[in-house]
Amino acid sequence: MNTQKQPKVGIVSLGCPKALVDSERIITKLRADGYAMSPDYADADVVVVNTCGFLDSARDESLDAIGEAMNENGKVLVTGCMGATPELIRDKFPDVLGITGPQQYEAVVSAVHEHAPIEKNKFVDLVPEAGIKLTPRHYAYLKISEGCNNRCSFCIIPQLRGDLVSRPLGDVMGEAERLVNSGVKELLVISQDTSAYGQDIKYAESRWRDKEYRTKFYDLCDAMGDLDAWVRMHYVYPYPHVDDVIPMMEQGKILPYLDIPFQHASPAVLRNMKRPGKIEKTAARIHKWREMCPDITLRSTFIVGFPGETEDDFKMLMDWLDEVQLDRVGCFQYEPVTGAPSNDIENHIPDDVKEERWHAFMAKQQEISEAKMQKKIGSTQDCIIDGVTDDGETIIARSKADAPEIDGNVFIHHCTRPVTAGDIVPVKITDADEYDLYGEVNT
Ligand code: SF4
């Protein structure tokens, strides 16, 4: 694993309150993508100047600001009202990196990504590789907090992003509601530690739709269950209160899906990882969750070859996989990250051993996954339409068990009704392979 350098963006915001709101939106998106903000030119990898061009004086002020940013930094993106007359800017500053018009938030964010690329890191990035601009309109990521209070030894997120800062539930629900009203059919709740939501603000009460809620995982699930959308929970740790949301999954309020990054099953390795939660009772709890909600899909990620992982630890992990039969699993070979405490743990595992364990792990999980997928043949699953294959022959969809980007798909080869992205339709499953399902719509 490589160290993630967090690029810094400077932003100069000129003009009216609307321009300020635009700047805030740009900053929000950049922060969600993993950028840091720089208070000065020298430290910034790129500078965004949000201009005002309403009056001549404002235009002059904007040109002066662009000139200053060019002199002090040289990597400058111009946006805002003056972006509507790019020739005025290019005449004076032919070397600006890009010009976009007012309210073109996505274009500014894309330009920042292009000129100050962020290094993807599977342990740091919450938003998948496709990034925000490619997220189809019918699903959206909803970030409920920043930072993390845990100190897992392989992770540098708390160093990069700081301690947990939760958004009050009312704010989160306001955004969720806006997204649903604008056509989003599936909300993917993300954070670094979703079950810790609200800890930092002592689960403060917050108002939404004339009702008081605590800023807490349970209340969030409860409130989100009232929206007309699929709600999928990511990065949940198996704290005891997670048990309380399983009935909401069974009742169909939120999707019966939990993404829990277990990382390992050996208590010794987990101690070295300094992971939150206790693994000892987790298998029993998983069995209980399945009794309470038989359709629940459990997704997880693991690290093999962590420093100090013995053959016995690895065997324990393999046995645990057999016992809990997770539905969806990702596995990484341990790689050191500069600045992570795990670098100092003794007995780093040789690459060939890591590789061997990874293959053994994946082979086992593939077997488990294949058997689970086979059992779905003959069932009817509600699926959300994502699009069509390049040849236009097959509809690509996902069942409730499939998060976009990371899980499998349901490929529909026969469909008796017109469908569009975001539609939810019953699909009769006719075939399966290790990770994907195949089916038809006959209703
Ligand atoms: S829970 Fe652990 S791995 Fe996840 S962000 Fe926090 S410190 Fe990093």
Residue 426's H or E segment, with its range, is strand 424-432
193 lines ligand 1 (CB under 6 A): yes
Hey, whose CA ends up nearest to atom 1 of ligand 1?
150
How confident is the model over 362-377, as pLDDT tens digits? Answer: 999 999 999 999 999 9
What is the 193 CA–ligand 1 centroid distance (Å)? 7
Burial 206-215 (b: 16+ CB within 10 A, else e): bebeeeebbb
What is the 295 CA–ligand 1 centroid distance (Å)? 28
What pLDDT does residue 15 have? 65
- Angle between helix axes 311-324 and 282-292 (nearest 10 degrees) is 10
Using an 8 Å Cβ cutoff, are 112 and 129 in contact? no
**Distance from C-alpha of 197 to C-alpha of 335, rounded to nearest angstrom:** 29
What pLDDT does residue 158 have? 82
**Which fold would CATH assign to domain 8-115?**
Rossmann fold (3.40.50)
What is the 139 CA–ligand 1 centroid distance (Å)? 25
**Distance from C-alpha of 114 to C-alpha of 45, rounded to nearest angstrom:** 12
215 three-state secondary structure: coil
Cα torsion through 101, 127, 238, 366, rounded to 10: 160
How many Cα atoms sit within 13 Å of 274 on the Cβ side?
A: 12
402 lines ligand 1 (CB under 6 A): no
Residue 268's H or E segment, with its range, is helix 267-273
Which residues does the chain have with pLDDT short of 70? Answer: 1-5, 15-21, 24, 53-57, 102-103, 120-136, 160-161, 276-278, 280
Q: Which DSSP string do the residues of 103-165 spell out, in sequence order?
A: T-HHHHHHHHHHHSPPPP-TTT--S-TTTGGGS-TTEEEEE-EES-S---TT--HHHHH-S-E
Using an 8 Å Cβ cutoff, are 367 and 385 in contact? no
**Distance from C-alpha of 276 to C-alpha of 271, rounded to nearest angstrom:** 9
What's the DSSP call for residue 242?
G
What pLDDT does residue 35 have? 85
Alpha carbon separation from 235 to 13, 125, 260, 271, 434 (Å, rounded): 35, 12, 5, 19, 24
Atom of ligand 1 nearest to the CA of 193: 1
Where exactly does CATH 3.80.30.20 map onto the chain?
132-374
Query: What are the strands of the beta sheet with 230-233, ordered from one edge?
Result: 139-143, 186-190, 230-233, 257-259, 297-304, 328-333
What is the 296 CA–ligand 1 centroid distance (Å)? 24
**Distance from C-alpha of 171 to C-alpha of 176, rounded to nearest angstrom:** 9
213 three-state secondary structure: strand
266 three-state secondary structure: coil
Query: What are the strands of the beta sheet with 8-13, ordered from one edge?
Result: 36-37, 8-13, 46-51, 76-80, 98-99
Where exactly does CATH 2.40.50.140 map onto the chain?
380-441
What is the 40 CA–ligand 1 centroid distance (Å)? 30
386 lines ligand 1 (CB under 6 A): no
Atom of ligand 1 nearest to the CA of 235: 4
What pLDDT does residue 263 have? 94
Hey, whose CA ends up nearest to atom 5 of ligand 1?
192
158 lines ligand 1 (CB under 6 A): yes
What is the 87 CA–ligand 1 centroid distance (Å)? 47
Q: Which DSSP string do the residues of 290-347 spell out, in sequence order?
A: HHH-TT-EEEEEEEES-TT--HHHHHHHHHHHHHH--SEEEEEE----TT-GGGGSS-
Surface-to-core class of residue 199, CB atoms within 10 Å of its CB (0-12 exposed, 13-18 middle, 19+ buried): middle
What is the CATH class of 132-374? Answer: alpha beta
Give the phi and the psi of residue 93 in degrees, each rounded to 5. Answer: -130, 75
| Mutation test residue for ligand 1: of 121, 124, 126, 155, the one with most atoms within 8 Å of CB | 155
**Which fold would CATH assign to domain 380-441?**
OB fold (Dihydrolipoamide Acetyltransferase, E2P) (2.40.50)
259 lines ligand 1 (CB under 6 A): no
Where exactly does CATH 3.40.50.12160 map onto the chain?
8-115
What is the 148 CA–ligand 1 centroid distance (Å)? 6
How confident is the model over 413-437, as pLDDT tens digits? Answer: 999 888 889 999 999 999 999 889 9
192 lines ligand 1 (CB under 6 A): yes
How many Cα atoms sit within 13 Å of 346 on the Cβ side?
A: 0
**Distance from C-alpha of 171 to C-alpha of 421, rounded to nearest angstrom:** 27
28 lines ligand 1 (CB under 6 A): no
Alpha carbon separation from 8 to 41, 55, 147, 192, 291 (Å, rounded): 10, 31, 17, 21, 48
150 lines ligand 1 (CB under 6 A): yes
Instruction: Return the ∠ at Cα 236 (arms to 306 and 308), rounded to 5°.
Output: 10
